[in-house]
Structure 1
Amino acid sequence: MLDGSLQYINLNKEIAEGKKLNKPLLNFRKGLNKYDERMKSFIEKNKDKFDGELFKDFIIREHYTIINQEEGQEQLMKYLDKYQSSIKLCNTEHMTFSDWFIVKKELKNNEMIPVEEAHNIINCVIVSFLDEFLCEINQEYTDILKSERYSNLKLLES
């Protein structure tokens, strides 16, 4: 999953019935995932774009989106029975995991990893994960996580 929209996951029924997903899963997320860091970033990024009720509406919507994403993440972890790896690529945002910034050339935030570099890391990590857990060729994915090859790649904190 590449920064999946976890706010749309509802696995309560499956979990209550004791069902499990018996497949390895890579949950690859953007840099900011915790409620406090995401809300702070959202407010800073949007404080001058909107005012009054519109700004309040955007904050409330983001608040519920983040809460629902955190609940979706928890449900996903309960539902998985096989190997799961939850990682994040620091200094990225949701659209980094698509071609948006390549097509639109809109990445203006100097704190973000350049898109080409981020895509190289994302591609390498995905291929390594598939090689290790689908093809059982090597342990390159495990080695990447243990090494400092990509300093912006971190395990996602529970």
Structure 2
Amino acid sequence: MKIGRIVRVLEDKERKETIIKSDENRKVIISFYYPADENWKESRQALYVDLYSPREDEFISIFKNMLPYKENAEKENYLKSIKTNIYNDAPISKKAVNCPVIIQCSGLGSPRDYLTFNIEELVRKGYVVFTIGHLYDSMLTIMPDGKLIEMAKDELTQDEKKELIDIRKDDIIFVLNNLEKLNLDDDIIKNKLDLSRIGMIGHSLGGAAVFKASQCDIRIKAAVLFDASLQFFSLSNVVKNKQTLNKPVLNFRRGTFDYETSMKKYIDYMKNSLDADKFKEGILIYDNVLRDSAEEQKNLFHYLCGYKSFIKLNTSEHMAFTDYSIVKGEKMESKILTAKKAHEVINDLAVRFMDEFLCGNGKRYSSFIKNDEYITLIDEDGKSIKGTKL
């Protein structure tokens, strides 16, 4: 199936840009994904690098540093050869009318179109997808005119990340406010959206922003959190005050979601790259992150009073929920789990969840979710539940 993609830039005249010093209004860039016209004949095979048009060179310059090849020519050739089913500006299918809507929010530093493995599956299953580009907190944002916008800062404190989450939450609500106009006036999007069925998917810091938007906007009917940054949820007081949220939420965690495993991996990764003082500082910060995440896992469990599903993808890492393995060309997520299988499982459960709780298609998710070799149900403490459904 061929999938179309268009890019739009929205300007919020009610907010000024605050991430950088500027008198300009806050802008948000979005990609819209949809089924392409079945009779359309493409001129060539779509490539992953096309997502960064008209500055494909910037994509190659940044992402080639991730690759294991020794020579730059090998790196560039690989990045230029990644195939996809996504075609920029393809004509939209005439059958795409009143489609349920998914809005995606990627993690800190990640480009907005960094979950295409999931986007393609969602569109194949009848959804249309918007991805939100939060300017100045992505490593690479290409505007339609070719202007490159980079991250405002390479390193952020925990307080600065909290501020970014609030900015992202406001960006999400701003996009929601504009969907009705796009559905009325946009040449491609017009009459394609069913605005009574809007779901959200967020990864990492994007998951935190998605959750905060879901708390305050009733238009969001269901939310899927891909290894969200739970440490920023701040639910202690609302739980103490017995406040609740009646909204279906899938909290989908990486397989290494526990203190001991996470801390060991952090130490092994950082011990040779930082001096003693920086290493100690990093350990203390990460200790707080892990403890806060564990606490907010419990709070989230008690805060949600509607359908809630807490699961983890066995042996997986944080970036399993992104295109990282596609761009890097990695075949294995772990010794047990291939990168391809990880994406298959993530897609299957995310689509089933949205089918049931956004579109009302029977018990597509709740009667299917179970313990198996890939998925483990977890409780409020992040511990495995053997043979039990939440």
Confirm whether residue 130 of structure 1 aligns to residue 130 of structure 2.
Answer: no
Q: Which residue of 2 aligns with 1:38?
A: 262
Confirm whether residue 154 of structure 1 aligns to residue 380 of structure 2.
Answer: no
Aligned-residue sequence identity (percent) comes to 36
Q: Which residue of 1 aligns with 2:317?
A: 93
Q: Which residue of 2 aligns with 1:20?
A: 244
Whole-Å Cα distance in 2 between the matches of residues 43 and 139 of structure 1?
42
| TM-score, normalization by structure 2 | 0.37
Residues 147, 111 of structure 1: alpha-carbon distance in 2 compared, 3 angstrom cutoff: closer
Deviation at 1:51, TM superposition (A): 4.6
Confirm whether residue 59 of structure 1 aligns to residue 283 of structure 2.
Answer: yes
How many equivalent pairs are there? 156
Per-residue CA deviation, residues 110-132 of structure 1 (Å, 9 max, x unaligned), is 43633222111101001111222
Per-residue CA deviation, residues 57-110 of structure 1 (Å, 9 max, x unaligned), is 222221111011112212211211111110000121111111223223467764
Residues 20, 110 of structure 1: alpha-carbon distance in 2 compared, 3 angstrom cutoff: closer
Contact 2:230-2:292 at 8 Å conserved across structures: yes
The residue matched to 1:145 in structure 2 has which SS? Answer: coil
Q: Which residue of 1 aligns with 2:345?
A: 121
Whole-Å Cα distance in 1 between the matches of residues 269 and 326 of structure 2?
21
Deviation at 1:139, TM superposition (A): 2.4
Whole-Å Cα distance in 2 between the matches of residues 107 and 33 of structure 1?
22
Q: Which has the larger radius of gyration?
A: 2
- Measured on the aligned residues, the alpha-carbon RMSD in Å equals 2.3
Deviation at 1:55, TM superposition (A): 2.2
Contact 2:316-2:333 at 8 Å conserved across structures: no
Q: Which residue of 2 aligns with 1:47?
A: 271
| TM-score, normalization by structure 1 | 0.84
Report 1 or 2 for greater relative contact order, CA contacts < 8 Å, sequence distance ≥ 6: 1
Contact 1:92-1:112 at 8 Å conserved across structures: no
Q: Which residue of 1 aligns with 2:29?
A: none
Structure having the larger proportion of residues in strand: 2
Structure having the larger proportion of residues in helix: 1
Structure 2 unmatched runs, 5+: 1-224, 382-390
Whole-Å Cα distance in 2 between the matches of residues 105 and 79 of structure 1?
39
Whole-Å Cα distance in 2 between the matches of residues 114 and 121 of structure 1?
11
Give the counterpart of 2:307 among 83, 104, 110.
83
Q: What does 1:140-151 align with in structure 2 at a 5 Å threshold?
A: 140-146=364-370, 148=372, 151=373
